[in-house]
Amino acid sequence: MRAPDAAVGRSAEDRLAGLAVPPGSLGRLGELGVWLASCQGVVPPTAPTNVRLAIFAGDHGVAAYGVSAFPPAITGAMVGTFRAGRAGVSALARAHDV
C-alpha cells in the first residue's frame, strides 16, 4: 500500500458526499473508504481481498473510571451475540464471505 494521495482523497470525499445517505451515517466506515481510495489512488476504491475478522473482548478495571462505552456487565451478552452470529459485524462478515 502506498502513501495516501490527497487529491484522490478529496475526490473520494466528494463522491461520498454525493451518495444518497445522510452525512455521517456511515460513521468511521466513510472515513475508511476515503482513506482506502486515497491509498489505492482510485475512486471508488477496489474491494480488499483475503479479508479476515478478529473480535477481542475483555473486562478490566478501567471501566470503573467511566471511559468505556459499556459497563462490564454487558460484555458477556455482547460476546454471546458475536458467537451466535447475530451482531452487525456478523451480518457484514457473512455478506462478504469473511
SS3 83: helix
Question: What's the pTM value of the predicted model, to 2 decimals?
Answer: 0.60
35-90 pLDDT tens trace: 999 999 999 999 988 889 998 887 777 777 888 777 888 888 989 999 999 998 99
**Confidence (pLDDT) at 92:** 87
Q: Where are the domains of the chain?
A: 6-40, 61-95
Cα dihedral 9, 49, 19, 93 sign: negative
